[in-house]
Structure 1
Amino acid sequence: MNANTKPVIFDGHNDLLTRLWLSSAADPVHDFIYGTLPGHLDLQRCQEANWMGGLFSIFLPPYAYVKNNHPDKLANPSHSDFTPQEIVDICCEQLKLAQQLEARSDGQIQICTSLEQIQACQQNKQLAIVLHLEGAEFLAIQPDLLDVFYEAGLRSIGPLWNRKSLFGDGLNASFPHSPDTGSGLTAQGKDLILKCSEKHMLIDVSHMNERAFWDTIEIACQPIVATHSNSHALCQQARNLTDQQLAAIKQSDGLVGVNFDVAFLRADGQRNTQTSLDVIVDHLDYLIDHLGEDHVGFGSDFDGCLLPDELSDISQISMLIERMQQRHFSDQLIEKVTSKKLVYGA
């Protein structure tokens, strides 16, 4: 790989759709496609970086965050939590934003529901959106929406987030902490896993506590993916993965996408942007040692994380690639990590 060659990047996780929903811009979809958008991603920067897409999360952000930073998004900011209708509406609005990105892009963006479509996007220099659900709270309110969202293109689900829900306890603990933070999946959570598995959807364990993780391993007879998680041995955040969890993911022929958020990278767990890119490479190295090079990718969490200063947005991704080269990652291995295993399974 020479200095002018950029590897294709297919990313395991980003929060662009939530950022578009939170945006105060008059037309954030237009700004993403044709202009510049504050944050980590817009189409021009993605194209220049050879970032061809990935899993785009539909996500219900914490109520306190929305209330404190975007109160205009709430029907009544004096409330203490979202209403059930707000939860459904927020997720539906993010789905509509994804559909608008595709419809208004003049063919530059496509919602993909198969590997063949993703591969075609790569060949045609299009941005590939694979819809992912991060936390399934709205399905506890309207279960029939799983079929509706599936028909609209949803192909990946993380049933739990940090909050307790009908489906399980979620994952929320102070640093340092083991992933053992509560009960596992509820009966409804196990039913949801089985329904999604029957639809051949990707099952994401990134926000599961340890008991929910093992419940999922037991009932989902398919490769298990942690779309944006790191090594617990290197950073003892509760939602990073232990060596035993990594072994189970490898056994399932699954994959882990490395999260670029500094708090999930640093040994001290601090939200300190003065964090070397070597720490990301350390996690990549560790995961490759434990999983094998066919089971590790990027899961950046762009637009939903605090990045190292050297990696301020997608336009600086080449800095990480260079650091991987300096750490003796071969061109073949870099291609596997950035896209080849995710897109081609090779």
Structure 2
Amino acid sequence: MLRFIDGHHDTLLELNDGSDAFFTGLPSAHLDFTRGKKAGFAAGFFAVFAPNPISDPDPGIVHTEAGYMKSLPPILSREYALAATTRSMARFFQLEELSKGTFKTIRTIADLKKAVDGDWMGGILHMEGAEALDNDLDLLYVFYKAGLRSIGPVWSRSNQFGEGVPYGYPSSPDTGPGLTPEGKELVRKCSELGIMVDLSHLNERGFWDVAAISDKPLVATHANVHRICPVSRNLTDPQIDKIGQSAGLIGITYSIDPNMVTPSAEGDPGASLEDIADHIDYVRNRIGVDHVALGSDFDGTMVPDAMKDVTGVPMLLSVLEQRGWKKSELEKLTYKNWIRVLEQTWKE
């Protein structure tokens, strides 16, 4: 069985009652230690995310004959975001303490390779939305020293660093302004420290701002192909091409809520593994097998019934094998591409 690195999941949101549930079982979640080990989950990007407060109104949605457009959620206060981020990071670091040597925070490429080899399950600390950071970026340095190795400047809302892309169908990702001056400085500082910048929730102008600043491989950890599913969160062909030209990587997501897989506006629980494989093949055929990976978005979305949870990943790989993928190509998809990109990005 192939072991794999997953580009994005939100399982930390499922650990409100304590990190030990990751090991004792999370039946309502897509991922826990036992099922991950069974499926070949070697390591993954564990997202630290601050949800909007329950008291906030739901974003407005406008329905059209063709689809919909959602407004951006309210901006978070930094105090709230920092508290939520600190709590989620604590849950993450507790995993290593509770694991008795079977789970490790990944800070170096050597750590990651050992996870792929089966020495332990690995967690890469990722921040999805940088609202918790101060404008001077002092906390970025502190979080880096703690173990932060990946950051998305925005989620699908605005903050001091830029504007996320609102969900809309059919819609291009060109939905608003890009990075602020503080956001551009964040990208520069991440490059200096060796923190990967995730493009997944940036709108198109923000994407091109990062591309103009960064000399690192461009990465979207959980995004799909706009030409197949024209939702604003998916990547257009010029964006896909630019990621390939930068030696970067796209982690294909399984999200059907919002739907990022099938051509329709509404997600279909009956969507097939073949539908997900179509996005993988599109990227492979357009920019090469070196630039496509897996980025589930487990526990941050709904996934097709055929996927169910992390145990569905081996079946997806079987679909690709039936389409003619060689073992060497599947190894690139599942872990070698992630290792290559991170070797070019991280400092340690």
Asked whether the 8 Å contact 2:42–2:118 carries over to 1, the reply is no
How far 1:35 moved relative to its partner?
3.4
How far 1:81 moved relative to its partner?
7.5
Report the secondary structure of 1:311's partner residue: coil
Aligned partners of 1:173 and 1:93: how far apart in 2? Answer: 27
Aligned partners of 2:124 and 2:57: how far apart in 1? Answer: 29
Q: Deviations over 1:227-266 (max 9, x none)?
A: 0011111111111111111111111110000011020111
Matching of residue 123 in structure 1 with residue 117 in structure 2: yes
1:132-211 counterparts in 2 under 5 A? 132-140=126-134, 143-211=137-205
Residues 83 and 225 of structure 1, relative CA distance in 2, 3 Å threshold: closer
Asked whether the 8 Å contact 1:52–1:125 carries over to 2, the reply is no
Asked whether the 8 Å contact 2:225–2:279 carries over to 1, the reply is yes
Matching of residue 9 in structure 1 with residue 4 in structure 2: yes
Q: Deviations over 1:170-216 (max 9, x none)?
A: 11042110010001111111011111111121111111111111110
Q: Deviations over 1:108-144 (max 9, x none)?
A: 1100111111112222431111111111011147842
Matching of residue 38 in structure 1 with residue 32 in structure 2: no
Equivalent of residue 278 in structure 1, options 274, 283, 286: 274
Report the secondary structure of 1:235's partner residue: coil
Q: 1:293 maps to which residue? A: 289
Equivalent of residue 52 in structure 1, options 37, 42, 51: 42
Structure 1 gaps of 5+ residues are: 1-5, 69-79
Report the secondary structure of 1:139's partner residue: coil
Aligned partners of 1:36 and 1:57: how far apart in 2? Answer: 17
More off after superposition, 203-212 vs 314-323: 314-323
Aligned partners of 2:317 and 2:265: how far apart in 1? Answer: 24
Partner amino acid for 1:14? Answer: H
Aligned partners of 1:114 and 1:67: how far apart in 2? Answer: 41
Equivalent of residue 18 in structure 1, options 4, 13, 17: 13
More off after superposition, 140-149 vs 234-243: 140-149
How far 1:329 moved relative to its partner?
1.6
Aligned partners of 2:277 and 2:269: how far apart in 1? Answer: 16
Aligned partners of 1:33 and 1:101: how far apart in 2? Answer: 9
Q: 2:70 maps to which residue? A: none
Structure 2 gaps of 5+ residues are: 59-73, 344-348
Q: 2:101 maps to which residue? A: 107
Report the secondary structure of 1:95's partner residue: helix
RMSD: 2.0
Aligned partners of 2:106 and 2:95: how far apart in 1? Answer: 13
Under a length normalisation based on structure 1, what TM-score does the superposition of the two structures give?
Answer: 0.89
Partner amino acid for 1:42? Answer: D
Asked whether the 8 Å contact 1:115–1:344 carries over to 2, the reply is no
Asked whether the 8 Å contact 1:293–1:336 carries over to 2, the reply is yes
Aligned partners of 2:167 and 2:20: how far apart in 1? Answer: 38
Q: 2:261 maps to which residue? A: 265
Asked whether the 8 Å contact 1:84–1:141 carries over to 2, the reply is no
Aligned partners of 1:231 and 1:8: how far apart in 2? Answer: 25
Under a length normalisation based on structure 2, what TM-score does the superposition of the two structures give?
Answer: 0.89
Partner amino acid for 1:8? Answer: R
How far 1:343 moved relative to its partner?
2.5
Aligned partners of 1:344 and 1:220: how far apart in 2? Answer: 17
Q: Percent identity?
A: 38
Asked whether the 8 Å contact 1:261–1:307 carries over to 2, the reply is yes
Residues 81 and 250 of structure 1, relative CA distance in 2, 3 Å threshold: closer
* Aligned residue pairs, count: 325
Aligned partners of 1:65 and 1:320: how far apart in 2? Answer: 39
Q: 2:238 maps to which residue? A: 244
More off after superposition, 58-67 vs 6-15: 58-67
Report the secondary structure of 2:20's partner residue: helix
Aligned partners of 1:124 and 1:9: how far apart in 2? Answer: 11
Q: Deviations over 1:38-61 (max 9, x none)?
A: 210110111111111111111112
